[in-house]
Amino acid sequence: MKGIFSIVLSMSYQASIAIMIVLVVQWLFRLWNVPSKYGCIIGIFPFLRMVIPSFWKTTFSLIRKPNFISLYTQRSMNQVNEIYQSNYIETQNMQSHLSQGELWNILPWIWLFGIIGILGYSLIRLMQLKKKLDCNIWIRDNIYYVDEIPNALVWGIRNHKIYVYSQIPEKELEYVLLHENAHIQRKDPMIKFAAFLIVCIHWFNPLAWIAYRQLQHYMELSCDEVVLKKLDHWDYKEYAKTLFNRSVCGQRKIPLAFGEIYIKQRIKNIVHYKKPTGIGVGLAIVILIGVGITLLTDPMTEMIQNEILESRGKNYYLVKGGEEREAYLRLLDNNQFLFCYDPWNSYLPYGGYQQVDNKLIAYTHDGRYHYVFEKVGTDTLKFIQQDSSKITVSETVQSIMDGDRFIHSTGY
């Protein structure tokens, strides 16, 4: 559970960076009169960041992975102290560390119960709405009249049904159906359903909810623009009037059903609607591609690894049978480390470390692995397998075993 939660935290951090950049780009798109569908497309990028832990690596990425090493290390410090010396050390600092460790153990469960609570509440609301929609009158195709809702909505993820107020005038019904069918054609219900599930996973991140609201906003604007392209210019005000009439009874907040939101902004957009220019659309496409490359790629870890490889520090080489092996541990002055034990493995463990009495605890930058060494004398580190992550090496590489010694070399 803790491992899953740490991955979610990492993705949420990266998505937050993407959300802030996307909000700025969407604002620029509005200034440049760019079609809303491009703002909707770019609004999906943060949700991909929230659910996909890693992307292709490029030198253009603006996303940086968070460093949760301090949390992991603090927890490991508590465990090491409990095992080796807490029986006789009782200090105020230790109590502070223990409380932080206990908090880190509780947080994943709070996160899980939050997801269950949000999904449970949403399910109850959907069941209440479904009960109202069951009292309907079929008109034609997938269109139904209902008395319990004041405005139209699309129901369903795949088999879509359009529900409209039974007393709606015929002319307004035409506009409403154009708008709701635009949602269906654009696959908005399916996209919104996926986005809602993703934001439930990141419920603790307020930026995730902002991104979700923005995505809904641009879906509505995009569908409005689809409708406007099918209408004559003198019908724009009638369409805006229809939106206003359908919103006078308030707005629902049903997570998986499409209704009318952002009415004021949408009416303003309709009244002042202008056809986008070719230059604006071309510029938007270029920006869209550029933002996609920078937000949907990861930084080249090789660049970071090379910086560490080229950095000077203390090298501790594995010694077995009196012979020095290829595996080594490099400790840098800024509390970073590099652990090279398999030249055939593309994953290079590096990150941060802390010393606790005679123990050295190292955690990789992504929180996937940790290694514990015991200081023996001034120039030797003994690997402690039982407190470390499992080390898997290629068949041609000698395994690192519990108790293996790494001896300091002054050659680098």
Q: pLDDT per residue over 32-53, tens digit each?
A: 889 999 999 999 999 999 999 8
Rounded alpha-carbon distances, angstroms, from residue 88 to 97, 136, 388: 16, 73, 24
Burial class of residue 318, CB neighbours in 10 A (0-12, 13-18, 19+): buried
Q: Tell me, yes or no, if the pTM score tops 0.75.
A: no
CA 61 to CA 49: how far, in whole Å?
13
CA 36 to CA 281: how far, in whole Å?
11
Q: Which two tokens stand for residue 53?
A: 């832990």
Domain 301-409 has CATH 2.40.128: yes
Report the percent of the chain where pLDDT is more than 90. Answer: 43
Q: What is the pLDDT of residue 250?
A: 46
CA 361 to CA 221: how far, in whole Å?
53
Q: What is the pLDDT of residue 334?
A: 78
The single-letter code of the amino acid at 407 is I
Calculated CA dihedral for residues 128, 130, 131, 136, nearest 10 degrees? 140
| Whether the Cβ atoms of residue 372 and residue 361 lie closer than 8 Å to each other | yes
The helix or strand, by DSSP H or E, that contains position 25, with its residue range, turns out to be helix 2-31
Q: What is the pLDDT of residue 73?
A: 42
| Whether the Cβ atoms of residue 266 and residue 185 lie closer than 8 Å to each other | no
| Whether the Cβ atoms of residue 391 and residue 409 lie closer than 8 Å to each other | no
Q: Under DSSP, is residue 140 helix (H, G, I), strand (E, B) or coil?
A: strand
* Close Cβ partners of 261 (under 8 Å, ≥ 6 residues apart): 216, 217, 220, 251
Indicate the length of the chain as a whole number. 412
Q: What is the pLDDT of residue 301?
A: 60
Query: Is residue 274 predicted with pLDDT exceeding 80?
Result: yes
Rounded alpha-carbon distances, angstroms, from residue 249 to 84, 148, 246, 267: 66, 11, 7, 16
Task: Return the domain boundaries, the chain.
Answer: 2-295, 301-409
Long-range contacts (CB closer than 8 Å, 24 or more residues apart) made by 322-329: 324/407, 324/409, 325/398, 326/397, 327/398, 327/400, 327/406, 328/406, 328/409, 329/362, 329/373, 329/381, 329/406
Average pLDDT over residues 151-158: 86
Q: Under DSSP, is residue 314 helix (H, G, I), strand (E, B) or coil?
A: strand
CA 144 to CA 152: how far, in whole Å?
10
Q: What is the pLDDT of residue 54?
A: 86
Average pLDDT over residues 323-335: 81
How many degrees, rounded to 5, is the angle at CA 45 between CA 39 and CA 48? 150
pLDDT band at 70 (very low <50, low <70, confident <90, very high): very low
Average pLDDT over residues 280-287: 90
Rounded-to-5 percentages of helix, strand, coil across the chain? 50, 15, 30
Q: pLDDT per residue over 51-68, tens digit each?
A: 998 888 888 888 876 655
Render the burial of 9-26: b for 16+ CB within 10 Å, e for the rest.
Answer: bbbbbbbbbbbebbbebb
pLDDT band at 394 (very low <50, low <70, confident <90, very high): confident
Q: What is the pLDDT of residue 85?
A: 47
Q: pLDDT per residue over 230-273, tens digit each?
A: 998 889 989 998 888 877 654 445 555 544 557 888 888 898 88
Q: How many other C-beta atoms can be found within 10 angstroms of the C-beta atom of residue 397?
A: 16
CA 142 to CA 160: how far, in whole Å?
7
Burial class of residue 321, CB neighbours in 10 A (0-12, 13-18, 19+): exposed
